[in-house]
Amino acid sequence: MRTVITGGCGFLGRLIAERLIGRGDDVVLFDIAEPLNGLGDISDKVEIRLGDITNYEIVKNLISGADAVVHLASMVSAGSEADFDAAMRVNLDGGRNVLESSRANGPATRVLFTSSLAIFGSDRMPMHVDEMTRPVPQNTYGMTKAVIELLLNDMSRKGFVDGRIARLPTIIVRPGKPNTAASSFASGVIREPLMGDECCYPVPLDMTLMVGGYRACADALVVLLDAPADAFGDDRVVNLPNITVSVAQMMEATRTVAARHGIELGPIVEAPDANVQKIVGAWPTSMDASRALALGCPQPADLDDIIEDFISDYVH
């Protein structure tokens, strides 16, 4: 099985690659750049191809001969909001390049696309969303995700490709540096204190978020990649399992788990950011994931377990 992961050198790409390599798949990581501090243990077990997802010829050549494509390459929420035209190029044109290249590769090509809770929004949105809740994104990033969802669903209906779409909650805990996602602080309030660094949080402590742990997320994405096409019927969209937590609960869980390990935490400082509050505040705080669970995706981990995993995997 040869699987191409676009955006493969990022946070989730590396986790999915580890799982696919572990079972003997050939994995190609495609990205605009290699990570500054390398790919660690997996670097000699994957093929790395560098290039820009916006270049159709490069993407077509990349996907030719693949059995499956995991399409992760994307600009994220705050970055997309700051530069509409770049988000259109990378997320929409780049996404279309991946789907058309997969179509050219043949109808059996599996394409797993990671969408986001950011497709939801509007004051009229119900508190609890499911796969049938209408997407009314309140940011450009969410709009681009919703468009690619529709396109991949239709290209699957037409028999051009075998698509699957995972809608992710905010995934914690991202290692390394913060990215330009508006929800980046959700990892930051755990990661920075555990690393002894200062953490600035931009939203009120009682703001609630829908989050999922990185291990369960990567496992779930592999389950969806492997599921038979007929498990999805005429709707390829699946909401991933998630938990709803407040910022204060994330801080409290970090203190509890850090104390177990004798870790002295770095300082936490309030630094309100109206832009972040507006983007994140428009997102739903809970999402039905019964479809994902029925397909075999793992139950969401609780906060303590996610933080324990992070310490075990990344805090040395």
163 binds ligand NAD (CB under 6 A): no
244 binds ligand NAD (CB under 6 A): no
Quick one: 9 or 258, whose CB is closer to ligand NAD?
A: 9
Distance CA 279, CA 139 (A): 7
Neighbours of 2 (CB within 10 A): 15
H-helix or E-strand containing 145?
A: helix 140-157
- 108, 107, 70: which is closest to 221 by C-alpha? 70
Distance CA 74, CA 49 (A): 16
Distance CA 264, CA 278 (A): 32
H-helix or E-strand containing 278?
A: helix 274-281
Quick one: 18 or 263, whose CB is closer to ligand NAD?
A: 18
56 classed as catalytic: no
Quick one: 73 or 311, whose CB is closer to ligand NAD?
A: 73
- Binds ligand NAD by CB under 6 A, chosen from 133, 179, 249, 286: 179
Neighbours of 222 (CB within 10 A): 21
Segment contacting ligand NAD by CB under 6 A, of 2-10, 36-44, 291-299, 306-314: 2-10
116 binds ligand NAD (CB under 6 A): yes
- Binding pattern for the stretch 27-46 against ligand NAD, x by CB under 6 A and - elsewhere: ----xxx-------------
* Per-residue tokens: 226: 């492997």
161 binds ligand NAD (CB under 6 A): no
225 binds ligand NAD (CB under 6 A): no
Query: C-beta of 209: minimal distance to ligand NAD in Å?
Result: 10
Distance CA 183, CA 170 (A): 7
Q: Which of residues 47-76 bind ligand NAD (CB under 6 A)?
A: 52-54, 72-74, 76
Segment contacting ligand NAD by CB under 6 A, of 152-160, 167-175, 201-209, 241-249: 167-175
What type of residue is 36? L
Torsion over CA: 153, 52, 59, 19 (sign): negative
Query: C-beta of 221: minimal distance to ligand NAD in Å?
Result: 9
224 binds ligand NAD (CB under 6 A): no
**Residue 197 φ then ψ, to 5°:** -95, 165
Distance CA 83, CA 150 (A): 23
Catalytic residues: 141
Residues that bind ligand NAD (CB under 6 A): 7, 9-13, 31-33, 52-54, 72-74, 76, 90, 94, 114, 116, 168, 170-171, 179
